[in-house]
Amino acid sequence: MISSREIQNMQKNMVCLHTQQEVEVAIDRVAEAMNQTFSADDLPIFLCTMNGAVIFMGQLLPRLRFPLQIDYVHTARYYGTMHAGDLHWIAKPTTSLQDRIIVIVEDIIDSGITLARVIDYCEQQGAKKIYTAALVDKEHERSENGIETVDFAGLHVEDKFLLGYGLDYQGFFRNLPGIYAVQKPEGRE
């Protein structure tokens, strides 16, 4: 587990890239784009990618003006580190995705691998159409097996380690009211 000293060191090295107000404006833009895309007849299922997208999705949903259902997927690649590893499935949706429009809601797209795997899963389950949304589209080289872009992006952010609005380090800092970059923390390369 992370120590209180490590938390304090990270806090000293954080720089706010986007304030809470800027994030909320970005969520408004995503919601408006979705309101223009989906009609009352579409009845999409919004899949929240846990745990990171829970704040974004929770703030996005009340801004949407069409009927929808929600479910979630839970995958993990970081397991308490700053570097991604293999994708592990923790939970899959319980709602049938067969012949449905799916909107996968992510906190961040960086390598694009997690989102690509969730898309693959939705396709295997017979989804009719799949859309993707991310609060943060990080300017990061996409992996060979990752997706390049999302259908709905809130913010475009430089390639740094990010925290806040669902983005975390070892489960901490998800509740920061903005998007923060971590400069080189003490004791880390």
79-122: pLDDT as tens digits: 554 455 577 889 999 999 999 999 999 999 988 888 999 999 99
Q: Is 73 exposed, middle or buried (0-12, 13-18, 19+ CB in 10 A)?
A: buried
**Quick one: pLDDT at residue 188?**
41
Residue 81 in contact with residue 24, Cβ under 8 Å?
Answer: no
117 domain-assigned: yes
Residue 2 in contact with residue 170, Cβ under 8 Å?
Answer: yes
What is the count of structural domains for the chain?
1
76 domain-assigned: yes
Q: Could you tell me the pTM of the whole model? A: 0.90
Per-residue pLDDT of 127-138, as tens digits, reads: 999 999 999 999
The residue whose two tokens read 């690509």 is 116
CA distance 104 to 186: 36
93 domain-assigned: yes
12 domain-assigned: no
Work out the average pLDDT over 155-178.
93
What's the order of all strands across the beta sheet hosting 178-182? Answer: 14-19, 178-182, 161-163
Q: How confident is the model at residue 145 (pLDDT cuts 50, 70, 90)?
A: confident
CATH number for the domain harbouring residue 109 = 3.40.50.2020
**Quick one: pLDDT at residue 77?**
67
The β-bridge partners of 163 are 180
**Parallel, antiparallel or unpaired: strands 152-157 and 161-163:** unpaired
pLDDT tops 60 at residue 186: no
188 domain-assigned: no
173 domain-assigned: no
Catalytic machinery residues? 110
171 domain-assigned: no
33 domain-assigned: yes
Enclosing domain of residue 137 = 19-160
Q: How confident is the model at residue 78 (pLDDT cuts 50, 70, 90)?
A: low
